[in-house]
Chain A
Amino acid sequence: MTKRHVTRRGVIQTGAIAGAGLALPTYLRAQESGFTNAPQGDTVTLGFNVPQTGPYADEGADELRAFELAVEHLNGEDDGGMLQTFSEKNLDGTGILGRRVEYVTGDTQTKSDAARASARSMIEKDGAIMVSGGSSSGVAVAVQALCQEAGIIFMAGLTHSNDTTGKDKRANGFRHFFNSYMSGAALAPILAAQYGEDRKAYHLTADYNWGYTTEEAIRSSTEAMGWETVAAVKTPLTQTDFSSYIAPVLQSGADVLVLNHYGGNMVNSLTNAVQFGLRQQEANGKQFEIVVPLYSELMARGAGENITGILGSQNWDWKLENELGAKYAGTNAFVQSFGEKYGFPPSQAAHTCYVQTLLYADAVTRAGSFNPCAVVEALEGFEFDGLGNGPTLYRADDHQCFKDVVVVRGKENPENEFDLVEIVEVTPVDQVTYEPDHPQFSGGSLGTCNAGA
């Protein structure tokens, strides 16, 4: 039998060693420094900047739902969603690099200055290490530039203008959503197949950056397959009644109307075009047709039955896996998680935001660091699968994702308000891929990544 002496010095020594041992993981995690908002403690904060007020508030609400779900899945709550189908298996439900994920939200109001202010607040006051979300290209470009200056990663939400990964691209910014060029390249062959190669198109284009790049993309794609553009008219962004722009369309000799409009503009211009009976008309001996290059489920809901038979393109659709098989794995897992939590299927805006959050978390895990430059390196040239779009590449040259594009048509007899479009075809990624120096994307440079302070 040995006798143990408990001394004051022994207690202090043992306590000190035990305390140091317990504190070691935290100490090692806190070692990361030399970049903006290096996480300290057990948590990491992500900033979700979405329109919570203004005309795109419903789309912003759907993005927030998806972000919330992504955070839950990263933290090991709920059913894990796309973590089960993601080709990379680095995310194990323990947060990111062992830190529990927390988030803060900002309101972009779909205004560039407001979006920058809310992003700045999340970065400076809340310590957000990554900013994501948004429902407009103007906002995406503005917030992306801010994140570049601040040394923060920007994982863009819904932004479709070529410029986001074209002339305004930044090293710290990444876009999963498709773009105007891809819409044109995806739609053109299907338009030719459905409506013929001898068509005369009349474009109504929203008078701002996204409208210009979309018009340019659709025009060049359709003209390349033989269509003629008879006129392209800019419409003010604030326009609500498009009757005076639509009335002259039939007299112009056109037999197709292309509405380069989004949001409320799209709802109103399409509604007005249908009211004026364009779809019942014949022009040049052909049935008159209307095309909406960028579809949004929420806007389709606003346009109601007017979208019946109208062709357009989407980044993703919640029916993809059911209708086109396992290539689009991840879709059903996400729809299941989202649907059970919220009671309806997710929009493409929700999907892209969810995927961007997982991609960021995975990149950090693969890099083993939150340092933005390490994350950039991990995402550049990254090929993945199982997130709903099939095999996808995050191209290093411009930080644009390349994947299949979904061509859809307004459904004839929708069964409910969430089943408004039917998938016509999926255009393979090869047909929508372009060179990094393509003229529609020229004029900008990624620059170098900025890790900030």
Chain B
Amino acid sequence: MDAIILQILNGLDKGSAYALIALGLTLIFGTLGVVNFAHGALFMIGAFCAVTLSRLIESSRTVIDESRTDFLGNPMEVQVPYVVDWFGESGGAFLIDWAVPLSILFAIPIMITIGWIMERGLIKHFYKRPHADQILVTFGLAIVLQEIIKYFYGANPIPTPAPSAFQGSFDFGVLLGFDPLTILYPYWRLVYFAFAALIIGGVFAFLQFTTFGMVVRAGMADRETVGLLGINIDRRFTIMFGIAAAVAGLAGVMYTPINPPNYHMGMDFLVLSFVVVVVGGMGSLPGAVLAGFLLGILESFASMREVIDLIPGINQVIIYLVAILILLTRPRGLMGRKGVMEE
């Protein structure tokens, strides 16, 4: 039982990342009709916003320590962060420790701007082109973006730890009446799940309870009619592109303590996120979220040793098997609109 609870927790956690990326993907497809293969790159850029802010906060002046030597026998160069000079030992240490959460504030404007530039500068020229063209151009863009990141940050993963207050694990077992240390779960992964729930809830609330959201939803249902009413739906859709980019970026920022970011992390998530969108239903926001968590949980269970022993290799194919099954039996996905992908 404890193993099952653990895998459900793992699944919810993995599903959080899938759902956040898929939410942005389906938001773009639902509003602009664009299949955006560069969305994984936005997730990656978000993660590197956290890396960048960490480095900015850790910017240092060099002090020569004559009492120690470096590997060549020269006097050791010691780095003293400016934040320690400005805010004292504890203030500086606090800022360095909390760099990842602080990166949220740093990443939002950057991601919205990148999303806006991407949409206005490139993607809008492909609205009326076939999906194959859109996929090619956005996939090419994704490769360009990741190579730019690699040029500046290298190919190696960069450790970006969570604040020390969130390091370690929470004893879930005790909460559920099990023996201590039976179900341990890392604090930061719980934070990630809560953060994802907050962002997903926020996006839904924005679309559901604001006039702007209402217009966007109307545009998603019937773009032409909304346009005929004199509403500049294109402008709103561009803003939605920026919001989708910010959602992907924030997912990336908060993911950095889970796995050290590297330049190809976006590609690692991209294919899975597309499967999530297809399974959930192209253009369906609740479908993307539901499929994200569902596939995350399924993937976790398929990774259990007992399951692999029973069906070898199932951990590698489970998500794609589900996608095939869904496409065969319900081409519009779990919550897709009738008619979409069914012609």
Q: Do A and B bind each other?
A: yes
Report Cα–Cα, A299/B260, bound state, in Å. 11
Closest to B312 in A: A234
* Apart from A244-B10, A419-B71: 7 A-B pairs, beta carbons within 8 A: A247-B6, A248-B6, A251-B3, A302-B158, A304-B159, A344-B71, A416-B70
- B260 contacts A304, CB within 8 Å? yes
Let me know if B208 is at the binding interface, CB within 8 A: no
Task: Confirm or deny: A336 has a beta carbon within 8 angstroms of a beta carbon on chain B.
Answer: yes
Annotate B1-33 by CB proximity to A: 1 below 8 A, 0 otherwise: 011001101110110000000000000000000
In the complex the two chains form, is B262's CB within 8 Å of A238's CB?
A: no
Greatest chain B CB density within 10 A among A54, A243, A245, A304 is at A243
Q: How far apart are A230's CB and chain B's nearest CB, in angstroms?
A: 10
Q: Is B259 an interface residue (CB 8 A)?
A: yes
Residues of chain A lying within 8 A (CB to CB) of residue B300? 243-244
- Contact yes or no, A339 B315, CB < 8 A: no
B259 A280 Cβ-Cβ under 8 A:
no
B184 touches A276 (CB 8 A): yes
**Contact of B299 with A58 in the complex, beta carbons under 8 Å:** no
Dominant SS at the B interface?
A: mixed
A298 in contact (CB, < 8 A): yes
Tell me if A57 and B6 are in contact (CB < 8 A): no
Q: Determine whether the beta carbon of A275 is less than 8 Å from that of B258.
A: yes
A221 contacts the other chain (CB 8 A): no
| CB contact list, A375-428 vs B, under 8 A | 415-416, 418-419
Q: Are A233 and B305 in contact (CB under 8 A)?
A: yes
Given known pairs A243-B13, A243-B14, A302-B159, the reply for A271 and B260 (CB within 8 Å) is: yes
B168 touches A (CB below 8 Å): yes
30 residue pairs A–B, Cβ–Cβ below 8 Å: A57-B150, A57-B154, A207-B316, A234-B308, A235-B315, A240-B265, A241-B14, A243-B10, A244-B11, A244-B300, A244-B301, A245-B303, A247-B3, A248-B3, A248-B305, A251-B2, A268-B259, A275-B186, A275-B189, A276-B169, A277-B184, A280-B169, A299-B156, A301-B156, A302-B158, A302-B260, A304-B260, A306-B159, A415-B76, A416-B70
Give, as a whole number of angstroms, the nearest-CB distance from A109 to chain B: 11
B10 cross-chain contacts in A, Cβ below 8 A:
243-244, 247
Contacts of B303 in A (CB 8 A): 244-245
**Chain A residues, Cβ within 8 Å of B325:** none
The CA of A281 and the CA of B171, in the complex, are separated in Å by 12
- B117 at interface (Cβ–Cβ under 8 A)? no
* Complex: A119 Cα to B9 Cα, angstroms: 47
* Interchain nearest-CB distance for B54 vs A (Å): 11
Tell whether, in the assembled complex, residue B188 and residue A275 are in contact, meaning their CB atoms are under 8 Å apart: yes
Residues of B near A54 (CB, < 8 A) are 155
- Chain A residue contacts of B184, Cβ below 8 A: 250, 276-277, 281
Within 8 A of A (CB), among B280-313: 299-301, 303-305, 308
Judge if A95 is at the interface, Cβ distance under 8 Å: no
The answer to the question of A24 belonging to the interface, with a C-beta cut-off of 8 Å to chain B, is no
B contacts with A, residue count (CB < 8 A): 49
- What is the bound-complex CA distance between A264 and B301, given in angstroms? 23
B186 and A277 within 8 A (CB): yes
Q: Any chain A CB within 8 A of the CB of B157?
A: yes
* Contact in complex: A240, B259 (CB < 8 Å): yes
C-alpha gap A231/B303 in the complex (Å): 13
Contacts of A244 in B (CB 8 A): 7, 10-11, 14, 299-301, 303-304
Answer yes or no: A305 CB below 8 A from chain B CBs: yes
The complex places the Cα of A336 from the Cα of B73 at a distance, in Å, of 9
Q: Does B72 contact A (CB under 8 A)?
A: yes
Partner of B71, one of A57, A240, A418: A418
Q: Which residue of A lies closest to B257 (CB)?
A: A275
Tell me, rounded to whole Å, the shortest Cβ–Cβ distance linking A435 to chain B.
Answer: 33
Q: Is B80 on the interface with A (CB-CB < 8 A)?
A: no
6 closest residue pairs by CB, A with B: A304-B159, A302-B157, A277-B169, A57-B155, A244-B303, A244-B300
Q: Are B258 and A236 within 8 A (Cβ)? A: no
Contact check, A271 vs B259: say whether CB atoms are below 8 A apart. yes
